[in-house]
Amino acid sequence: MKARGIRVSPGLLTFIVGLLLLAVSGVIYQQYLMSTGRLSAGPANAQPAAGAPTKYACPMRCVETDEPGSCPVCGMDMQPVESSVQPAASTAPTAATAELYTCPMHPQIVQDHTGSCPICGMELVPKQDDSGALDSSLAEAVDTVRLSPTQALLSGVEAVHPSREHKALSIPAFGETVIPEGQIESISSWTEGRIDDLFLRDTGGKVSKGDHILDLYSEELVQAQEEFLVAKAAVDQLAGSGYENISQSSRSLLESSRTKLQRLGMTAEQIKNLEESGRVADRIPIYSGKSGVVMEKKVDEGMYVMKGESLYEVADLSKLWVEVQVFEADAAKLRVGDKVVLASPSQPGKTYRGKVILIEPEVSMETRTWTARVEVSNPDMSLRPGQVLNATLSFDYGELLLLPRNAVLHTGDGDLVYVLAGENTWRPRRVTVGRDFGDMVEIVDGLSAEEAVAGTAVFLLDSEAQLKGVPRPVDTAAGSKPNG
């Protein structure tokens, strides 16, 4: 039986050959670097310290021994390396004080002479020293961010000072007109009866106080008139008699009858006419007791109404309330007596002026707004109940400490600014932000007017602080200064 040969695929063979070539190339390149001085186990003139054992290592770092010779792994000659025992300190300059060179792409490569990067082959450049012009006290601080002159120039960080300005703000709002509660009156029937003639027929029509609005037939009122006439006749008959007690009783009965007629809705003039004519009126005219606009007509001619039943709703529209809705953020300065300018979209160019007479104690749960009741005059009846108006509220905040909006960094746990602590050195600080005025914001606490903060590139400073591990202040209580 013949033995079967081992078959190797071309792909596997290519991979093995490539691996061998790569290993040989690495060894050759390592020897080349050592021969040119670009790679060495230590300084060329390094001598082992007196009394310290000499160590030998393979250039490929395969093994390390105390004796020279060849590497048992790769066969390369063993090279001496520095002893781990350091020589005694001397006054001679050390490598730490000499100029150092580094790779622009690999900053971990640092050496004391020029050359090429062993990783990418780029020329080494002098390493920049960022601590040359820095105050030693600030260099030791852990709560500041220090930018190099190059970083400061490229980032464009500018210092700004808070400013004290007098601020007045106009807040837009909206409101709906309503009829004041005390200006709605119900015209009711004083007695039960039938409406025979109706003169005030239209809802929305105007009525004046004393206008004849309807005639009412009432059996009770007819009987009360007859009782009044009987009492009057008795008083007239007993006027000249000698029975004073009887005469006095008749006069009391007459006054009681007069009072009953008044309670049934008859006016003093109607009672006087009844007394002078001596004739009972079948229909009693009913007059309006208020001037205004008929908001609701509840009766028709021929209807029978009960005592106390409402016939009309009449409202005086010469003054109206506007219930203005103000958002919570804008309502902090809202006060009773504040002036308000109102405008109607249906009347371009025309404005109404009113004042706040009441701020309702509850906040609307649906809209999260405060309701301010504004009283406005409406002599020409150009405003209607239920009309929506645009409102402008003016608030005077006085003198405030302001910063540009870009100078404040809004974080998840508060507001932050970077205060100038030295040349190109910034310290984070918590501040309390108040009202928003567009490009400017109010600083309530945490900063004084004399301090300078970073007005631009705040995100860059915060990124540098995070990379360098600069802790953020917890709150304004620690290290904050009052606004002064």
How far apart are the two ends of the chain, measured CA to CA in Å?
Answer: 106
Report the half-sphere exposure of 85 (CA within 13 A, side-chain side): 11
200 alpha-carbon distance from chain centroid: 53
Residues in the chain: 484
Number of Cβ within 10 Å of residue 126's Cβ equals: 10
Domain assignment present for residue 244? The answer is yes
Q: What is the pLDDT of residue 187?
A: 85
Q: What is the CATH number of the domain that holds 366?
A: 2.40.30.170
Which of residues 348, 365, 396 is at a domain's end? Answer: 396
By CB atoms closer than 10 A (0-12, 13-18, 19+), residue 209 is: exposed
Rounded distance, CA 150 to CA 156, Å?
10
Q: What is the pLDDT of residue 401?
A: 92
Q: What is the CATH number of the domain that holds 434?
A: 2.40.420
Please check whether residues 348 and 304 belong to one and the same domain.
Answer: no
Please check whether residues 202 and 290 belong to one and the same domain.
Answer: yes
Q: Which residues pair with 177 in a beta bridge?
A: 322
Q: What is the pLDDT of residue 129?
A: 66
Residue 311 has φ and ψ, to the nearest 5°, of -100, -45
Please check whether residues 428 and 377 belong to one and the same domain.
Answer: no
Number of Cβ within 10 Å of residue 364's Cβ equals: 12
Q: What is the CATH number of the domain that holds 264?
A: 2.40.50.100
Rounded distance, CA 113 to CA 340, Å?
78
- The per-residue pLDDT string of the chain (484 residues; one tens digit each, 9 = 90 and over) reads 444 555 667 777 787 877 777 777 777 766 766 665 555 444 444 444 455 567 777 766 556 677 787 777 677 787 776 544 444 444 444 444 468 888 888 787 888 888 888 887 788 888 876 555 545 554 445 678 888 888 888 888 899 999 999 888 788 899 999 999 888 888 888 888 888 888 888 888 889 888 888 888 888 888 888 888 888 888 777 776 666 777 778 788 888 888 888 888 788 888 888 888 888 877 888 888 888 899 888 888 888 888 888 888 999 999 999 999 998 877 877 888 888 999 998 888 899 999 999 999 888 888 889 999 999 999 888 999 999 999 998 877 888 999 999 999 988 888 999 999 888 889 999 999 988 888 999 999 999 989 999 998 888 888 888 888 888 787 644 344 445 5
Residue 9 contacts residue 16 (beta carbons within 8 Å): no
State both tokens at 457.
């590139």
Domain assignment present for residue 421? The answer is yes
Please check whether residues 237 and 280 belong to one and the same domain.
Answer: yes
Rounded distance, CA 484 to CA 401, Å?
9
Which of residues 313, 347, 365 is at a domain's end? Answer: 313
**Alpha-carbon distances of 443 from 142, 383, 455, rounded to whole Å:** 26, 42, 14
Rounded distance, CA 146 to CA 468, Å?
10
Domain assignment present for residue 233? The answer is yes
DSSP conformation letters of 189-230: -SS-EEEEEE----TT-EE-TT-EEEEEE-HHHHHHHHHHHH
Which of residues 374, 396, 418 is at a domain's end? Answer: 396
Per the structure, the complete domain to which residue 246 belongs is given by 187-313
Please check whether residues 304 and 217 belong to one and the same domain.
Answer: yes
- Overall domain count for the chain: 4
The number of helices, as runs of H, and strands, as runs of E, in the chain is 7, 27
pTM for this one?
Answer: 0.49
Please check whether residues 205 and 230 belong to one and the same domain.
Answer: yes
Strands 369-377 and 388-404: unpaired
Q: What is the DSSP letter of 318?
A: S
Q: What is the pLDDT of residue 60?
A: 65
Domain assignment present for residue 352? The answer is yes
